[in-house]
Amino acid sequence: MSGGDMAKPLLGHQSMEGDPSITPVAGRTIGVLGSGDFARSLAIRLVCSGFKVVVGSRNPKRKAGLFPSEAEVTFQADAVKKTDVIFVAVFREHYSTLCDLADVLAGKILVDVSNNTEMNHHKESNAEYLASLFPACTVVKGFNVVSAWTLQSGARDGNKQVLICSNNQEAKRTVAEIAQVMGFTPVDMGCMSSACEIENIPLRLLPAWKIPIFLALGLFLCFFTYNLIRQVIHPYIREQKNKLYKIPIEVVNTTLPCVAYVMLSLVYLPGVLAACLQLYHGTKYRRFPDWLDQWLRHRKQIGLLSFFCAALHAVYSLCLPMRRSHRYQLIETAVKQAMEKKMNIWVEEEVWRMEIYISVGIIALGLLSLLAITSLPSIANSLNWREFSFIQSTLGFIALVISTLHTLTYGWSRAFDENQYKFYLPPTYTLTLLVPCTVILAKVIFNFPCVQQRLLRIRRGWEKGRYVKFVLPSATGEYSSGETSSNV
Ligand code: NAP
């Protein structure tokens, strides 16, 4: 049998042995209707997982060579007779051509693995359609979120979750067990009405990323336009200087850190707003408005985009000295100084500013990398809640403070220099400071003991104006209880 990785089961069979909840299904004969890409990958994986496989094709002679020798490739009707569980690896449009098999299929489990090309393409899901064509069969939806490539790529790569739904619990359990023996993680999605949702999953394009990406693009566009006006349009209008060459690198490189910094503050701003609402209402049991709820749920993606922009900013900054324009400017300055007979151009303050600016920038990027890495599910799952919240909340906030230092050392005294106000527009860095400084200030206020204690009590279930049972230690050290208003 061919196959490198395919020769190894996704999980060793022994891993199932100790689990009493799992009926041994390995060794059972599984049928596959169809001989395309999916059917072939599925058959190989099933064989490697210890199943006997019988493939039903319209043309078994021609297709037999594509399958491992351990799999039997035969006519559809013949294959169906030899097994009780049949994977239908055929497109929906061809389901009706299988109707001739209705009698032999009666009483068997059909696994619908099909996908659509568009979301909600048909009124009823493919699985429901299959069930309507074969009412004497039990249809289970499953394996459609696993690609032929994932089936082939073995234990190392690919999505390992198999979403399963059916109206028949027993059939669903059988298919879940098969998935488990194959090394996948079956996820019970309930009854057949979930099939439509399961079929839509492979067609979704980064659903959790849409809002954060639009947010990042919106911020990028705003800051890019602002920087373009200051760095290119202003010198052109005021001094007739052509600075268009600055657009690809300089303007982009002054825009990226603005986006990264503001996005990082937007990770922590919804938490601040949520805390303000909880303090205002004096309870944690009141639902946040939908927009805040959505924002809270997208913090991970916003943070990762902030890291992405910061990383690009670092690469752009490292490449700045490589540019021809930079070399010409350096030589020009050197010549000018030589003509003016200036020997010492060392400005102590500028030297220190740059050293500190770069150093805090590197630390901020390091912390952002740590936040990005620990947000990956495989890493996050290895941390307990305290470790995860320490990294994401405390270190994340420290990253925001250090990024603020990076921005301040970059700006230094420019905010007080009137030459920096192009068309009366303040330097870009002053604008970027607004949201992050508000977040930092709010976090500092939340750390005042009076505010912190009230917030802590609210988060432990205390509610304004509610009578609660309290327990207090008495003078003798024993505890006495009574009723009081927690508002007092
Ligand atoms: P494919 O390569 O085109 O294979 C489809 C197979 O259907 C053919 O090889 C053919 O086998 C069989 N078939 C039966 N009746 C047919 C008919 N009347 N006309 C044409 N073909 C007929 O497609 P595939 O990529 O394997 O996909 C098969 C199913 O798996 C689809 O429902 C798809 O949505 C689903 N799926 C595929 C993937 C993937 O990565 N490819 C992932 C998830 C789900 P015979 O000629 O031997 O009968």
3-class SS string, the chain = CCCHHHHCCCCCCHHHHCCCCCCCCCCCEEEEECCCHHHHHHHHHHHHCCCEEEEEECCHHHHHHHCCCCCEEEEHHHHHHCCCEEEECCCHHHHHHHHHHHHHHCCCEEEECCCCCCCCCCCCCHHHHHHHHCCCCEEEECCCCCCHHHHHHCCCCCCCEEEEECCCHHHHHHHHHHHHHCCCEEEECCCHHHHHHHHHHHHCCCHHHHHHHHHHHHHHHHHHHHHHHHHHHHHHHHHCCCCHHHHHHHHHHHHHHHHHHHHHHHHHHHHHHHHHHHHHHCCCCCCCCHHHHHHHHCHHHHHHHHHHHHHHHHHHHHHHHHCHHHHHHHHHHHHHHHHCCCCCCCCHHHHHHHHHHHHHHHHHHHHHHHHHHHCCHHHHCCCCHHHHHHHHHHHHHHHHHHHHHHHHHHHCCHHHCHHHCECCECCHHHHHCHHHHHHHHHHHHHCCHHHHHHHHHHHCCCCCCCEEEEEEECCCCCEEEEEEECCC
The answer for residues whose C-beta is within 8 angstroms of residue 237's C-beta and 6 or more apart is: none
Cα–Cα distance, 49 to 239 (Å, whole number): 74
The predicted pLDDT at position 54 comes to: 98
Q: Say whether both 170 and 68 belong to one domain.
A: yes
CA distances from 125 to 44, 95, 162 (A): 28, 13, 17
Cα–Cα distance, 62 to 131 (Å, whole number): 30
Q: Say whether both 165 and 231 belong to one domain.
A: no
Q: Say whether both 283 and 189 belong to one domain.
A: no
How far is ligand 1, taken at its centre, from the CA of residue 171, in Å?
A: 23
The predicted pLDDT at position 446 comes to: 96
Residue 129 lies in a domain: yes
Q: Say whether both 45 and 105 belong to one domain.
A: yes
Burial class (CB in 10 A: 0-12, 13-18, 19+), 54: buried
Among protein residues, the one with the nearest Cα to ligand 1's atom 42 is 147
Residue 44 lies in a domain: yes
For a ligand 1 pocket test, name from 90, 111, 147, 201 the mutation site with the most ligand atoms within 8 angstroms of its C-beta.
Answer: 90
How far is ligand 1, taken at its centre, from the CA of residue 45, in Å?
A: 17
Please state whether beta strands 52-57 and 72-75 pair in parallel, antiparallel, or not at all (unpaired): parallel
Range of the domain at 59: 29-203
Q: Say whether both 266 and 350 belong to one domain.
A: yes
Among protein residues, the one with the nearest Cα to ligand 1's atom 17 is 94
How far is ligand 1, taken at its centre, from the CA of residue 395, in Å?
A: 50
Among protein residues, the one with the nearest Cα to ligand 1's atom 46 is 58
Q: Kindly tell me the sign of the dihedral angle through the C-alpha atoms of 139, 142, 148, 154.
A: negative
Identify the CA nearest to 24 among candidates 181, 162, 173. Answer: 181
The predicted pLDDT at position 157 comes to: 57
Q: Say whether both 182 and 288 belong to one domain.
A: no
Cα–Cα distance, 273 to 295 (Å, whole number): 11
Summarised one tens digit per residue, pLDDT across range 97-146 is 999 999 999 999 999 999 999 998 899 999 999 999 999 999 999 999 99
Q: Say whether both 280 and 191 belong to one domain.
A: no
Give the pair of three-digit tokens for residue 457.
Answer: 């009590």
Please report the atom of ligand 1 found closest to the CA of residue 202. Answer: 43
Q: Say whether both 173 and 153 belong to one domain.
A: yes
Among protein residues, the one with the nearest Cα to ligand 1's atom 10 is 34
28 touches 52 (CB < 8 A):
yes
Cα–Cα distance, 228 to 246 (Å, whole number): 9
- List ligand 1's pocket residues with C-beta within 6 A: 34-39, 57-59, 63, 89-91, 94, 97, 113-115, 144, 147-148
The owner of tokens 């009707």 is: 77
The predicted pLDDT at position 464 comes to: 85
How far is ligand 1, taken at its centre, from the CA of residue 114, in Å?
A: 8
Among protein residues, the one with the nearest Cα to ligand 1's atom 36 is 114
The predicted pLDDT at position 344 comes to: 84
The predicted pLDDT at position 481 comes to: 38
- CA angle 185-187-189, nearest 5°? 165
Give the pair of three-digit tokens for residue 209.
Answer: 């990323």
Amino acid (one-letter) located at 472: L
Identify the CA nearest to 314 among candidates 360, 381, 376. Answer: 360
How far is ligand 1, taken at its centre, from the CA of residue 144, in Å?
A: 12
Q: Say whether both 333 and 226 belong to one domain.
A: yes
How far is ligand 1, taken at its centre, from the CA of residue 167, in Å?
A: 25
How far is ligand 1, taken at its centre, from the CA of residue 174, in Å?
A: 23
Please report the atom of ligand 1 found closest to the CA of residue 38. Answer: 26
The owner of tokens 């021809």 is: 324
Cα-flanking dihedrals φ and ψ of residue 468, to 5°? -130, 160
Residue 41 lies in a domain: yes
Q: What domain count does the chain have?
A: 2
The answer for residues whose C-beta is within 8 angstroms of residue 102's C-beta and 6 or more apart is: 133, 134, 136
Please state whether beta strands 479-485 and 467-473 pair in parallel, antiparallel, or not at all (unpaired): antiparallel
- The CATH code of the domain that includes 44 is 3.40.50.720
Q: Say whether both 165 and 263 belong to one domain.
A: no
The b-or-e profile of 193-225 (16+ CB within 10 A means b, else e) is: ebbbebbbeeeeeeeebeebeebbeebbeebbe
Among protein residues, the one with the nearest Cα to ligand 1's atom 23 is 36
- The CATH code of the domain that includes 446 is 1.20.120
Among protein residues, the one with the nearest Cα to ligand 1's atom 19 is 94
Please report the atom of ligand 1 found closest to the CA of residue 92. Answer: 32
Residue 301 lies in a domain: yes
394 touches 220 (CB < 8 A):
no
Cα–Cα distance, 442 to 171 (Å, whole number): 55
Q: Say whether both 315 and 416 belong to one domain.
A: yes
Among protein residues, the one with the nearest Cα to ligand 1's atom 4 is 36
The predicted pLDDT at position 480 comes to: 38
The predicted pLDDT at position 4 comes to: 43
pTM over 0.95: no
Low-confidence ranges of the chain (pLDDT < 70): 1-24, 26, 154-159, 467-488
Residue 475 lies in a domain: no
CA 337 to chain centre: 53
Residue 231 lies in a domain: yes
Q: Say whether both 154 and 232 belong to one domain.
A: no
Summarised one tens digit per residue, pLDDT across range 135-145 is 999 999 999 99
222 touches 259 (CB < 8 A):
no
Residue 310 lies in a domain: yes
Residue 105 lies in a domain: yes
For a ligand 1 pocket test, name from 32, 37, 92 the mutation site with the most ligand atoms within 8 angstroms of its C-beta.
Answer: 37
CB atoms near residue 69 (< 10 Å): 11
The owner of tokens 């959790």 is: 208
